[in-house]
Amino acid sequence: MVRKRGSSQRWLDEHFNDPWVKQARREGWRGRAVYKLAQIDARDRLLRPGMTVIDLGAAPGGWSQYAAEKVAPGGRVIALDVLAMPPLKGVEFIQGDFTEQGVLEMLRASLSGQPVDVVMSDMAPNMSGMRAVDQPRAMHLAELAHALAVEVLSPGGDLLVKVFQGEGFDAFLAELRADFPRVLTRKPEASRDRSREVYLLARNYQL
Ligand SMILES: C[S@@+](CC[C@H](N)C(=O)[O-])C[C@H]1O[C@@H](n2cnc3c(N)ncnc32)[C@H](O)[C@@H]1O
Protein backbone atom coordinates (compact mmCIF):
# COMPACT_ATOMS: atom_id res chain seq x y z
CA MET A 1 0.00 0.00 0.00
CA VAL A 2 1.31 3.44 -0.90
CA ARG A 3 0.78 5.76 1.99
CA LYS A 4 -0.10 9.36 1.23
CA ARG A 5 2.44 11.63 2.90
CA GLY A 6 0.98 14.49 4.90
CA SER A 7 2.13 18.04 4.29
CA SER A 8 3.75 18.26 7.75
CA GLN A 9 5.77 15.12 7.05
CA ARG A 10 6.81 16.62 3.71
CA TRP A 11 7.82 19.81 5.51
CA LEU A 12 9.89 17.83 8.04
CA ASP A 13 11.64 15.85 5.29
CA GLU A 14 12.38 19.00 3.35
CA HIS A 15 13.53 20.85 6.47
CA PHE A 16 15.96 18.17 7.63
CA ASN A 17 17.38 17.64 4.14
CA ASP A 18 17.76 21.36 3.50
CA PRO A 19 21.45 22.23 3.06
CA TRP A 20 20.90 25.69 4.61
CA VAL A 21 19.40 24.14 7.74
CA LYS A 22 22.41 21.83 8.04
CA GLN A 23 24.87 24.66 7.41
CA ALA A 24 23.14 26.89 9.99
CA ARG A 25 23.40 24.16 12.60
CA ARG A 26 27.07 23.58 11.79
CA GLU A 27 27.93 27.27 11.89
CA GLY A 28 25.94 28.10 15.03
CA TRP A 29 23.28 30.35 13.50
CA ARG A 30 19.72 30.44 14.75
CA GLY A 31 18.10 29.09 11.63
CA ARG A 32 18.46 29.05 7.87
CA ALA A 33 16.97 32.56 7.42
CA VAL A 34 20.36 34.04 8.26
CA TYR A 35 21.67 33.10 4.82
CA LYS A 36 19.03 35.21 3.09
CA LEU A 37 20.34 38.31 4.86
CA ALA A 38 23.97 37.24 4.50
CA GLN A 39 23.53 36.74 0.74
CA ILE A 40 21.83 40.11 0.29
CA ASP A 41 24.50 41.76 2.45
CA ALA A 42 27.32 40.12 0.47
CA ARG A 43 25.88 41.52 -2.75
CA ASP A 44 24.62 44.92 -1.60
CA ARG A 45 26.90 45.78 1.33
CA LEU A 46 24.08 46.70 3.65
CA LEU A 47 25.59 46.43 7.14
CA ARG A 48 28.74 48.12 8.45
CA PRO A 49 30.42 48.72 11.83
CA GLY A 50 28.83 51.48 13.91
CA MET A 51 25.38 51.25 12.33
CA THR A 52 22.07 51.31 14.16
CA VAL A 53 19.74 48.60 12.86
CA ILE A 54 16.12 47.68 13.59
CA ASP A 55 15.19 44.03 12.95
CA LEU A 56 11.40 43.51 12.73
CA GLY A 57 10.15 39.94 13.02
CA ALA A 58 13.47 38.89 14.49
CA ALA A 59 12.77 35.52 16.14
CA PRO A 60 14.40 33.06 16.42
CA GLY A 61 17.25 35.50 15.79
CA GLY A 62 19.45 34.61 12.82
CA TRP A 63 19.24 38.07 11.22
CA SER A 64 19.89 39.77 14.57
CA GLN A 65 22.84 37.51 15.27
CA TYR A 66 24.34 38.32 11.87
CA ALA A 67 23.62 42.05 12.14
CA ALA A 68 25.13 42.29 15.64
CA GLU A 69 28.38 40.85 14.29
CA LYS A 70 28.41 43.17 11.29
CA VAL A 71 27.68 46.44 13.16
CA ALA A 72 30.28 45.81 15.89
CA PRO A 73 32.10 47.71 17.17
CA GLY A 74 29.96 50.66 18.11
CA GLY A 75 26.73 49.59 16.45
CA ARG A 76 23.32 48.83 17.83
CA VAL A 77 20.71 46.19 16.92
CA ILE A 78 17.15 46.56 18.20
CA ALA A 79 15.12 43.44 17.49
CA LEU A 80 11.36 43.03 17.79
CA ASP A 81 9.07 40.04 17.59
CA VAL A 82 5.68 38.99 18.86
CA LEU A 83 7.35 35.73 19.96
CA ALA A 84 9.91 35.43 22.73
CA MET A 85 13.55 35.30 21.65
CA PRO A 86 16.40 34.01 23.81
CA PRO A 87 18.96 36.78 24.47
CA LEU A 88 21.73 37.46 21.96
CA LYS A 89 24.95 39.34 22.62
CA GLY A 90 24.76 42.86 21.24
CA VAL A 91 21.00 42.72 20.57
CA GLU A 92 18.30 44.64 22.45
CA PHE A 93 14.98 42.83 22.24
CA ILE A 94 11.41 44.11 22.43
CA GLN A 95 8.67 41.50 22.57
CA GLY A 96 5.37 42.63 21.11
CA ASP A 97 3.06 42.78 18.14
CA PHE A 98 4.33 45.41 15.72
CA THR A 99 0.78 46.19 14.57
CA GLU A 100 0.02 47.54 18.06
CA GLN A 101 0.55 51.23 18.75
CA GLY A 102 1.97 50.54 22.25
CA VAL A 103 4.71 48.34 20.79
CA LEU A 104 5.67 51.03 18.30
CA GLU A 105 5.88 53.45 21.25
CA MET A 106 8.27 51.05 23.03
CA LEU A 107 10.46 50.97 19.94
CA ARG A 108 10.44 54.77 19.69
CA ALA A 109 11.32 55.04 23.38
CA SER A 110 14.31 52.73 23.02
CA LEU A 111 15.59 54.83 20.11
CA SER A 112 15.01 58.10 21.96
CA GLY A 113 15.47 60.05 18.75
CA GLN A 114 18.62 58.26 17.60
CA PRO A 115 18.59 58.03 13.80
CA VAL A 116 18.60 54.55 12.27
CA ASP A 117 20.77 53.38 9.37
CA VAL A 118 18.89 50.21 8.39
CA VAL A 119 15.34 49.01 9.03
CA MET A 120 14.94 45.37 8.06
CA SER A 121 11.78 43.32 8.23
CA ASP A 122 11.51 39.58 7.76
CA MET A 123 8.02 39.65 9.32
CA ALA A 124 5.52 37.19 7.94
CA PRO A 125 2.05 36.49 9.28
CA ASN A 126 1.01 33.04 10.42
CA MET A 127 -0.04 31.56 7.10
CA SER A 128 -3.58 30.20 6.94
CA GLY A 129 -2.96 28.77 3.47
CA MET A 130 -5.70 31.00 2.05
CA ARG A 131 -4.02 33.49 -0.21
CA ALA A 132 -6.92 35.97 0.03
CA VAL A 133 -6.28 36.18 3.79
CA ASP A 134 -2.49 35.79 3.94
CA GLN A 135 -1.52 38.22 1.19
CA PRO A 136 -3.22 41.34 2.64
CA ARG A 137 -1.84 40.51 6.10
CA ALA A 138 1.67 40.21 4.71
CA MET A 139 1.31 43.46 2.73
CA HIS A 140 0.08 45.23 5.86
CA LEU A 141 3.21 44.19 7.78
CA ALA A 142 5.40 45.42 4.92
CA GLU A 143 3.53 48.74 4.86
CA LEU A 144 4.06 49.17 8.61
CA ALA A 145 7.79 48.50 8.17
CA HIS A 146 7.86 51.14 5.41
CA ALA A 147 6.05 53.64 7.66
CA LEU A 148 8.58 53.06 10.44
CA ALA A 149 11.47 53.41 8.01
CA VAL A 150 10.37 56.85 6.77
CA GLU A 151 9.92 57.93 10.39
CA VAL A 152 13.27 56.81 11.80
CA LEU A 153 15.81 56.43 8.97
CA SER A 154 18.64 58.89 8.72
CA PRO A 155 19.35 60.40 5.28
CA GLY A 156 21.04 57.72 3.19
CA GLY A 157 19.43 54.93 5.25
CA ASP A 158 18.09 51.67 3.82
CA LEU A 159 14.99 49.53 4.22
CA LEU A 160 15.07 45.79 3.54
CA VAL A 161 11.60 44.27 3.60
CA LYS A 162 10.14 40.86 2.89
CA VAL A 163 7.09 40.82 0.64
CA PHE A 164 5.13 38.17 -1.21
CA GLN A 165 4.42 38.45 -4.90
CA GLY A 166 0.71 38.82 -5.54
CA GLU A 167 -2.08 41.28 -4.88
CA GLY A 168 -0.73 44.63 -3.64
CA PHE A 169 2.90 43.96 -4.55
CA ASP A 170 3.08 46.47 -7.44
CA ALA A 171 1.35 49.17 -5.43
CA PHE A 172 3.77 48.64 -2.54
CA LEU A 173 6.74 48.80 -4.89
CA ALA A 174 5.42 52.12 -6.23
CA GLU A 175 5.08 53.46 -2.66
CA LEU A 176 8.70 52.56 -1.92
CA ARG A 177 9.84 54.18 -5.16
CA ALA A 178 8.14 57.40 -4.11
CA ASP A 179 10.32 57.57 -0.97
CA PHE A 180 13.60 55.98 -2.07
CA PRO A 181 15.65 56.75 -5.20
CA ARG A 182 16.66 53.08 -5.66
CA VAL A 183 14.52 50.03 -5.01
CA LEU A 184 16.02 46.63 -5.81
CA THR A 185 14.33 43.24 -5.81
CA ARG A 186 16.30 40.41 -4.27
CA LYS A 187 15.57 36.67 -4.22
CA PRO A 188 18.53 35.21 -2.33
CA GLU A 189 19.56 31.65 -3.08
CA ALA A 190 18.51 30.57 0.42
CA SER A 191 14.92 31.67 -0.28
CA ARG A 192 12.99 28.66 -1.50
CA ASP A 193 12.20 28.78 -5.24
CA ARG A 194 8.60 27.79 -4.78
CA SER A 195 8.02 30.53 -2.19
CA ARG A 196 6.46 33.78 -3.45
CA GLU A 197 8.70 35.56 -0.95
CA VAL A 198 11.05 38.24 -2.28
CA TYR A 199 12.95 41.02 -0.56
CA LEU A 200 12.78 44.65 -1.57
CA LEU A 201 15.84 46.71 -0.77
CA ALA A 202 15.00 50.40 -0.78
CA ARG A 203 18.18 52.45 -0.62
CA ASN A 204 19.47 55.87 0.18
CA TYR A 205 16.47 57.41 1.93
CA GLN A 206 16.23 61.15 1.44
CA LEU A 207 14.21 63.31 3.81
C1 LIG B 1 10.44 34.29 9.01
S2 LIG B 1 10.39 34.64 10.70
C3 LIG B 1 11.81 35.66 10.93
C4 LIG B 1 13.12 34.93 10.95
C5 LIG B 1 14.25 35.82 11.39
N6 LIG B 1 14.60 36.81 10.37
C7 LIG B 1 15.51 35.02 11.71
O8 LIG B 1 16.53 35.22 11.07
O9 LIG B 1 15.45 34.23 12.64
C10 LIG B 1 9.08 35.82 10.79
C11 LIG B 1 8.84 36.39 12.16
O12 LIG B 1 7.90 37.47 12.06
C13 LIG B 1 7.23 37.53 13.30
N14 LIG B 1 6.03 38.36 13.20
C15 LIG B 1 4.95 38.14 12.40
N16 LIG B 1 4.02 39.09 12.63
C17 LIG B 1 4.54 39.92 13.56
C18 LIG B 1 4.03 41.09 14.21
N19 LIG B 1 2.81 41.57 13.93
N20 LIG B 1 4.81 41.71 15.12
C21 LIG B 1 6.04 41.21 15.41
N22 LIG B 1 6.56 40.10 14.84
C23 LIG B 1 5.81 39.47 13.92
C24 LIG B 1 6.93 36.07 13.60
O25 LIG B 1 6.65 35.89 14.96
C26 LIG B 1 8.23 35.39 13.15
O27 LIG B 1 9.10 35.16 14.23
Contact of 23 with 53, CB cutoff 8 Å: no
Sheet with 153-164: list strands edge to edge.
91-95, 76-81, 52-56, 116-121, 153-164, 197-203, 182-186
Question: Using the 8-state DSSP alphabet, how is residue 28 labeled?
Answer: T
Is 14 a member of any domain? Answer: no
Which residue range is the domain that position 107 belongs to?
33-203
How many domains, the chain?
Answer: 1
Q: Which mutation among 27, 82, 163, 195 tests ligand 1's pocket best, with the greatest number of atoms within 8 A of CB?
A: 82
- CA–centroid distance, residue 19 to ligand 1 (Å): 22
Per residue in 140-193, pLDDT tens? 999 999 999 999 999 999 999 999 999 999 999 999 999 999 999 999 999 998
pLDDT higher than threshold 70 for residue 67: yes
Specify if 102 maps to a domain. Answer: yes
Tell whether the torsion through CA atoms of 21, 55, 197 and 205 is positive or negative: negative
- Note the pLDDT of residue 1: 46
Q: pLDDT at residue 129 above 90?
A: no
On whether residue 178 sits in a domain, the answer given is yes
Q: Is residue 25 part of a domain?
A: no
- pLDDT confidence tier of residue 3, bands split at 50, 70 and 90: low
pLDDT in tens, 35-54: 999 999 999 999 999 999 99
Domain membership flag for residue 4:
no
Give domain status of residue 24, yes or no: no
27 in a domain, yes or no?
no
Q: Classify residue 17: in a domain, yes or no.
A: no
The more confidently predicted of residues 199 and 18 is 199
Is 162 catalytic? The answer is yes
* pTM score: 0.94
Q: What is the CATH number of the domain that holds 155?
A: 3.40.50.150
How far, in Å, is the centroid of ligand 1 from the Cα of 124?
Answer: 6
